[in-house]
Every structure is written in structure tokens, then in C-alpha cells.
Amino acid sequence: MDWGHSLRLVAPEELLSISGLILLLVAAWAGDKAARAISIAAVAVLAGCAFLVAPALCNGAMGPETVAFFGQYQADAFSSFAKLLIYAAAAASLIVAPAFFDRVKGMRAEYPILILFAVLGMGIMVSATDLITLYIGLELNSLAAYVLAAFLRDDERSAEAGLKYFVLGALASGILLFGMSLTYGFTGTTSFAGINDALESGLSRGALFGIVFMLAGLAFKISAVPFHMWTPDVYEGAPTPVTMFFASAPKVAALALTMRVSLAAFAEQAAAWQQIIIFVALASIIVGALGAIGQRNIKRLLAYSSINNVGFVLIGLAAATPQGAAAMLVYLAIYVAMTVGAFVAVLMLKDADGNQVEEIADLAGLSRHRKVLTACLAMIMFSLAGIPPLFGFWGKFVVFQAAVQADLVLLAAIGIAASVIGAFYYLKIVKIMYFDEPANKVVGRSDWAHQALLAIAALCISPLGYLLTRQLGDLAQAAAIALFHFT
């Protein structure tokens, strides 16, 4: 193990941290005037990082050569896949931000820097193969996220969201840490591979508690039921670009982390956590769907929708097979496209004064004068509901296929039947936009960056997205194999 090799493997994280610090200095000297330039630089940094991680994914990197710092960190195809999704989602939330903040208070230079640090934390999370690395990544991400949630200091809702997120997030971190300490205490090691070896001989009661507490802490981070309560409030209160970020990047990171913990560290005791995951998955699907029905605010609705989607992703985890892991990654990729698209569309809904329209009722009859925007949003809604031929169907399809292949037919049947409940509220949005009499609230125009992002997202989830399935499937397969090929 030489240091040069390790440092080469963590190149994206180095680039992120160094450029983050430099940009922070720039922000300190140049002030908020440079906010736009810093945003552009941050997007460029993310693009650079994407180039750094892409080869590992394309080569299907796995095994000992990908391990850095004596087993604390792994830059394999799996982490590369997750990182690419995280970078894409973060870049999208950087691109949509200036237009949003300009109207409220003026863009602040800290926003892109906080996003960069959050992304750095997430990069460490998805590459972590040691409990200590895991916790550092998670906290780095979370601390940046707390500040981002409260970014509009003068807005009560934003402050409330930040505080709520912080208090509950700290609690979850405590639970996670407690679980980690139990796991360490009963297995004698913090490395995932070591934990797995230690659990091979059997599962002591203490280690079982460790697993349960760790999964509980992670369930909070992915906002799975029953640890989802914070999600609607935080999503509603946070500035919309931040909500978009929360709903996409940290979700991918936390799910990838959950996958690595469950499938690498606790692989030998799959039976112990599988039933927990099955319960959490079904509960998330059902609660997410039922909770969304009564919502009047579209951001709250999308929050419940994200809870619902996490449930579907977890069905792939319940399978505990490489197919299941690959299916989860495919689902996550499609989910990121749908979420980014949905929030960009929400950002484009403005009234005559340029203020954001968030009440669902105000969307009534939107299809009359904003045809393309409405069509895109309707497509995203049908896609989230999993109706073919839209691409969202494919995500559900692979996940349920993996569940059926793992003989979890009943889980798949209940999960998919519950998805019909979810279809109801997605349909409600389509109904309001197409069937109702126009409310003529949404009249504001939006800039080309939003339109371009929405067009890309809509193109990805349209039936044309199926052209990507082969590449996406192959990459996810490579990533999943790398995940199962731990050392």
C-alpha cells in the first residue's frame, strides 16, 4: 500500500476539497458579486470530477487495486456510479440557483461552496469502507446541508427547515453512532470487510442491535418510513433549488451508503436485516403514497413522492442480490432525472410578479397557456407513477424483476399494488393542469437554463430514454458486481 496510489484514487475528493477552499477564499475577497462566477467554477469542478471518476466506472474497477488508505476508502465502479449521479444532481441545483436567489435576495457566494462541500461529503460516504470514513463523510455532508436548508435567513420557513433538519439530523447521527459503536464493540473492527468476517461465525445480540441502530440512522438519512417525518417540512421550507438538491444528491449518497453497509459489511447476516428492509420499503411506499394525497403544496407533495420512491428502491435492497443492487442503481439514475425535472418545472412556475407558485391549486388549467411546460410536468408525473412507456416504468420494472428473481414475489406484488395508490396523486396534478378551468396564476417567464434542464430531463424520461437502457444496465451491472466483490 503506497501513499501515491491512495492519493491517486481519491483524486476527485482532493479536487473538490482544494477547489472548494480556493473558491471560499475567492468568495471572502470578492463578496457576493462573484457568486455567479463561483457557481460556474463550481459546475466546472463537478464536471472535472466526473471525468476523474468516469474511467473507474467504464472499466468496472473493483478489487484490491481500488482500495485506498488501508481499507478505509474504495474507489470502485459502484462508488463511481453513485458519484456521477451526485455530481449531475449537484450541477443541476447550481445551474437553477442564480435565477431563484436573484429574485429573493441576491445570490450569495456561499451557496455553490456549500454544495461543493456537501458533494465532497457524499463522495466520501459512497466510497467509505470503514465506519470512521462513513461517519466523516456523512457529517460533512449533513453540516453543509443544514446550512443550505436555512439559507434564506430572513425567511421563517427556511430557518425552521434548517433548525428542524439539524435537530433531527443530529439525533439520527447519534443513533447511527450508537449503532456503530455497538458494531465495533461486538466485532472488534471498524472496517466493513472485517465486520463481515466477524459476523461470519454468527450474530451476537449486541451486533444485532448494532445493525438495527445503524439501519435506523441510515433510514433517517434516506427519509424512509418510520424516520421520514422531517422530510415534508424541510422540503417545503428550504429554498427550492436546495430542495431539489436534497431530493436528489444526498438521497443517492445515503442509499448507496446503505447498500454498501448492508451488502458489504452485513452481507453474512442478510437474513437479519432483510426483514427490516422489507418492512421499511413497504411502509415507505404506502405512507409516501397516502401522505401525498392530501397535500396542497407541490414541494410537500414531491417530498412524499420521494419517500414513496425510496420505498421502491429499497425493494431492490431487500432482494440482497447483485441484480437487486443493479436495479437500485438504475432506479436511482432514473429517479434523479425525474426529480431534477420535477423541481426545475416547479421553479419555472412563477406568477406575474415573478414569485414562485407552490400551491397545487394555482396550477389549474396550466395546459392552456403553457403547453410545453405542462406536457413536460405531466410526463414527469406519469413517469413517477410508473406508467409505461415513460422511463419511470423501467426503474420500477427492474426493481420488481430483481425482487421476483430473489423469490420475493409477495413483496413485489404488495409493493406494486401499493404503487396504484401513488398513481392517484400524480394523476391529481395532471388532472388539475389539464382538466380544470384556468386559474391564470402562472404567467411568469423563465430563463433558458431552466428550459434546457427541463428539456434534458424530459427527454431522458420520455420513451426515448429506453435507448439508454442497455448502457445504463451495463454500467449498473458493473457497479453492482464491484459492490459484491469487496475485499
Partner 1 sequence: MNGFPILSAMLLVPLIGAVFCLFAEAKAARMIALVATVIDFALGIMLWANYDIGGAQWQFTEHLPLFAGFNWALGIDGIALMLIMLSVFLMPICIGASWNSIDKRVGEYMAAFLMMETLMIGVFTAQDLFLFYIFFEAGLIPMYLIIGIWGGADRIYASYKFFLYTLLGSVLMLIAMLWMVNETGTTDIPTLMNYDFAPEAQKWLWLAFFASFAVKMPMWPVHTWLPDAHVQAPTAGSVILAGVLLKMGGYGFIRFSLPMFPEASAEFSWLIFALSMIAVIYTSLVALVQEDMKKLIAYSSVAHMGIVTVGLFAFNVQGLEGTMIVMLSHGLVAGALFLGVGVIYDRLHTREIDRYGGLSINMPQYALFFMLFTMASVGLPGTSGFVGEFLALAGIYQVSSWVTLVCTTGIILGAAYMLYLYARVFFGVQKNADAAAMPDLDRREWSMMAALAAVVLWMGVYPESFLAPMRSDIAALDARLARARPDGDAQLKAGERPLKMIIMDLPDRGEHSTNAPPPPPPLPVTKEAH
Shortest gap between Cβ of 334 and partner 1 (angstroms)? 14
Q: Which is nearer to partner 1, 123 or 415 (CB)?
A: 415
**420 vs 452, beta carbon nearer partner 1:** 420
Among 178, 279, 397, 484, binds partner 1 (CB under 8 A): 397
399 vs 476: CA distance, rounded Å: 12
**Choice from 466, 481, 484, 485 touching partner 1 (CB under 8 A):** 466
- Grid cell at residue 234: 424541510
Torsion, Cα 197 121 317 88, to 10 degrees, reads: -140
Say whether residue 434 binds partner 1 (CB under 8 A): yes
Cα–Cα distances in Å, from 175 out to 59, 161, 196, 317?
37, 21, 21, 21
Residue 132 corresponds to which cell in the numbers above? Answer: 470512521
CB 308 within 8 A of CB 422: yes
Q: Total number of residues binding partner 1 (CB under 8 A)?
A: 29
Beta-carbon count within 10 A of 79 CB: 32
Stretch of 111-119, 166-174, 180-188, 408-416 lying at the interface with partner 1 (CB under 8 A): 408-416
Nearer to partner 1, 297 or 401 (CB): 401
Q: How far apart are the first and last CA of the chain?
A: 14
**Cα dihedral across residues 184, 190, 194, 197: positive or negative:** positive
Are 333 and 475 a contacting pair, CB within 8 Å? no
**Shortest Cβ distance from residue 316 to partner 1 (Å)?**
13
Closest distance of CB 365 from partner 1, Å: 11
Query: Taking a C-beta distance cutoff of 8 angstroms, is the pair 151, 223 a contact?
Result: no
CB of 164 to partner 1, least distance (A): 34
Residue 481 binds to partner 1 (criterion: CB under 8 A):
no
Considering the complex, state which of residue 346 and residue 433 has its C-beta at the smaller distance from partner 1: 433
**401 vs 487, which CB is nearer to partner 1?**
401
Residue 469 carries which side chain, given as an amino acid letter? T
Give the DSSP letter string of 309-366.
Answer: HHHHHHHHHHHTSHHHHHHHHHHHHHHHHHHHHHHHHHHT-B-TTSPBP-BGGGGTTG
Q: Which is nearer to partner 1, 128 or 379 (CB)?
A: 379
- 3-state DSSP assignment of residue 483: helix
CB of 407 to partner 1, least distance (A): 9
Q: Nearest 10 degrees: CA dihedral of 260, 266, 267, 268?
A: 170
Residue 441: DSSP 8-state: -
Contact 129, 260 (CB under 8 A): yes
Using CB under 8 A as the criterion, what x/- string covers residues 351-390 for binding partner 1?
Answer: -------------------------------x----xxx-
Bridge partner residues of 481 (DSSP)? none
Interaction of residue 405 with partner 1, rule CB under 8 A: yes
Largest CA distance in the chain: 68
Q: Does 393 bind partner 1 (CB under 8 A)?
A: yes
How many whole angstroms separate alpha carbon 310 and alpha carbon 223? Answer: 8
In whole angstroms, the minimum distance from the beta carbon of 246 to partner 1 comes to: 29
Nearer to partner 1, 69 or 466 (CB): 466
Closer residue to partner 1 (CB): 201 or 471: 471
Does 473 bind partner 1 (CB under 8 A)? Our answer is yes
Could you tell me the smallest distance in angstroms from the CB atom of residue 247 to partner 1? 25
In the complex with partner 1, which residue's Cβ is closer, 214 or 333? 333
Site string for partner 1, 411-430 (x = CB under 8 A): -xx--xx-xx--xx--x--x
Q: Is 470 in the site for partner 1 (CB under 8 A)?
A: yes
Tell me which residues touch partner 1 (CB under 8 A).
382, 387-389, 393, 397-398, 400-401, 404-405, 409, 412-413, 416-417, 419-420, 423-424, 427, 430-431, 434-435, 466, 469-470, 473
